[in-house]
């Protein structure tokens, strides 16, 4: 992360060293970009757009990991019943919680993959699918 801050300082072209607070801010901003975390404004806009899509279309949307983490933190029923200002505040709160989650070093939630198109009841994660494939290979080995 420090390397990212140094790279940022070189790009900006500072002659003097920045203050420690400024340097830390650059490090965190660069780390967010590397982790695929959008700015707060972009994330809130994306969450508001997901709200407009409706429940079924949200399930089929391919969502970035950071946005999906926010998605998991929001009660969509409550979110859809709020005024646009209250919904935006809830999205900002979800962004802050997602940033806290990331800063603790925890992985983002994995978005489920649809087994079949238009089958909302049959969802599994990629890791579940890989575990299933490995178990099936073992089963087939035992049969031969």
The tens place of each residue's pLDDT in the chain, 144 residues long, gives 677 667 777 777 766 777 888 888 888 888 888 888 999 999 999 988 887 776 656 666 778 889 888 888 888 777 878 888 888 898 999 999 999 999 999 999 887 765 555 445 556 667 767 877 888 898 888 887
Whether residue 125 sits in one domain with residue 140: yes
Whether residue 124 sits in one domain with residue 101: no
Question: Exposed (0-12), middle (13-18) or buried (19+): which is 26, by Cβ within 10 Å?
Answer: buried
Cα 124 to Cα 19: distance, rounded to the nearest angstrom: 47
> Looking at residue 119, what is its pLDDT?
46
Range(s) of the domain holding residue 70: 39-111
How big is the chain by its Cα radius of gyration, in Å?
Answer: 20
> Looking at residue 117, what is its pLDDT?
52
Whether residue 94 sits in one domain with residue 50: yes
Residue 91 · residue 47 · CB < 8 Å: yes
Please tell me what DSSP assigns to residue 74. S
pTM check: above 0.85: no
Whether residue 77 sits in one domain with residue 130: no
Whether residue 133 sits in one domain with residue 116: yes
Domain count, the chain: 3
Please tell me what DSSP assigns to residue 62. -
Whether residue 117 sits in one domain with residue 103: no
Whether residue 29 sits in one domain with residue 43: no
Whether residue 118 sits in one domain with residue 105: no
Whether residue 129 sits in one domain with residue 70: no
Backbone angles phi, psi at 26, to 5 degrees: -65, -40
């Amino acid at each position: 992360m420090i390397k990212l801050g140094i790279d940022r300082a070189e790009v900006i072209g500072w002659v003097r060293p920045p203050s420690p607070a400024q340097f830390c801010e650059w490090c965190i901003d660069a780390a967010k970009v590397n982790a695929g975390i959008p700015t707060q404004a972009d994330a809130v806009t994306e969450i508001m757009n997901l709200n407009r899509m409706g429940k079924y279309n949200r399930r089929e949307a391919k969502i970035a990991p950071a946005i999906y983490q926010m998605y998991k933190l929001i009660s969509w029923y409550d979110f859809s019943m709020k005024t646009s200002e209250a919904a935006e505040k809830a999205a900002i709160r979800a962004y802050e919680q997602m940033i806290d989650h990331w800063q603790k070093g925890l992985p983002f939630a994995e978005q489920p993959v649809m087994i079949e198109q238009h089958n909302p009841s049959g969802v599994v994660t990629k890791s579940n699918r890989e575990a299933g494939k490995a178990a099936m290979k073992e089963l087939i080995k035992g049969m031969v």
